[in-house]
Structure 1
Amino acid sequence: MDEQIPRHLPVEPDVRWGTHLVFMFEARQYLSDEQIELACSFPRDRRLIIDFDGHWGGVATADDSSVGTHSIENWRRLYSALSDLVLQPKLTGPLPDGAEFFPCFGMPQLVRHPRELGPERDYELQYIGSNWGRWKPFIEVVEAARQARLRRIRVCGRWWDGETCPGFEDITSGEPERLSGVEVQPPVPFGHVVTEMGRAVITPVLVSPLVADTGLFTARMLETLASGSLPVLPPEAEFMSSVYEGDVEALTLGSDPAATLGRLAGDFERHAEIVGQIQDRARARYNYPRLLRELLRFFR
């Protein structure tokens, strides 16, 4: 918890009045022994787990440092103590025993049609997010953008400037000299990501090695779509074409990324219409009232 989040999200200090509990885990096992004891006072069939990072069933292995330091067995013991049901946003391949699919993420409330923002933006290409295993796909997009003669390029986030995260040097390192001509800025504050994305004509949807290997759905996939920027999918992210559907092939970098980026920038109106249609489908499938109804059905 940082000082920004409570300004945007209500934080309830006392959950004893509740009737159901949903636990959401990423890399950290954040519950204290006292909190686990309190959680277990709720009926077991009214507790479930959302497993964003694929800890259950070894979907994500402990060999990936981005998952955290706890072993698969450690995660299994914790999950088994808390609930009989684990929900995973896994788009590809079979789910592990004891898990069911749930997309977890919905379209942001703010959705802008690309035509609303028009082709004249502050940046031609931009990525918002930290370098968490994303150096290689980002530099490949940058080099393709240069070949396509896209000049106004920006990246916002941590560890793009040569600094690394202590203990995670393997997934936060890079070669900042290769970003010559790219504007490098600090992270965008919580609550402003979608709006800032909309300042660029094109936004690549970059995924970490963990997400690429496991096919896990992430919030960024829908945030990018909602921003009004034209999302493009590098090869590592093409597994999420089932989320966008429709003419998503027009938004994949393919075998000639420079040509793809040039086509998107040069024929903005056609691609803006494609993205607008994808937005409409995504709002129908991933709106939060629908997701909440689906979530409640998992409770026995």
Structure 2
Amino acid sequence: MVATTGTLYVVATPIGNLQDLTPRALEVLNSVNLIAAEDTRHSGRLLQHFGVQTPTTACHDHNERGKSLRLVERMLAGEDLALISDAGTPLISDPGFHLVRMAREAGVRVCPVPGACALIAGLSAAGLPSDRFAFEGFLPAKTHGRRQRIQELVAEQRTWMIYEAPHRLLECLEDLLDLLGSERQVVLARELTKTFETIKGAPLVELVQWVRADADQQRGECVLIIEGAAQSVDSDALDPAAERVLDILLTELPVKQAAALAAQITGLKKNRLYQLALQKTA
């Protein structure tokens, strides 16, 4: 008899409303040999609600590398496993990458079971362009790192999205206001699918004032969807000679210094050169 390997099912779970668990996901959770969960206590409540009695094991940021080998060995021996996170689609700013990669490298079939995902849910209701978009996950927690990353995204023309912890939401919005300007449109999608779901879009100056005035808006899970930078028109294109100066300086200097020196040499506005330099070094 030829031995067959098991399957790793990557299963999306609800982000709030329990009715968003798909029938297929429920069938998989009931049928596998083991469920690898980010937090077994948290997921236990979900499984208990649906009467799922499949055994669980913890697979999170702190143990995933070591745990993955043992889980892959079980699948190679023929067992089926399901991977779930605390909420939503695993691996989207959640653990699971190492397990999935190791399973694929070992020849184990990896099967996605799609469902809820906070970033896609937020984008679908934001009313901002969604034909092309970028997801940045969580920005750095410390102010300097967060502002540096936002500065790198100033010229991003696609709609871009981030997750943010509620206790840092206002500070993050204030940094966005300072670096992107008052008129940039941003949508706050908070507590999606839950009782106090809020989807609020406004120019940054208004959104900051609104969040600052209502402490309830600084609670729960938050997704921010940010309007991309306006595309430059052809008439605003740089003279090739000026762009060549910037290119040469970028080979020797950091972006900010290169843009400042290029502005002195060419007489063009530093901010314009800085945004082009960010695009070139992205």
TM-score by length of 1: 0.29
Greater strand share, structure number: 2
TM-score by length of 2: 0.30
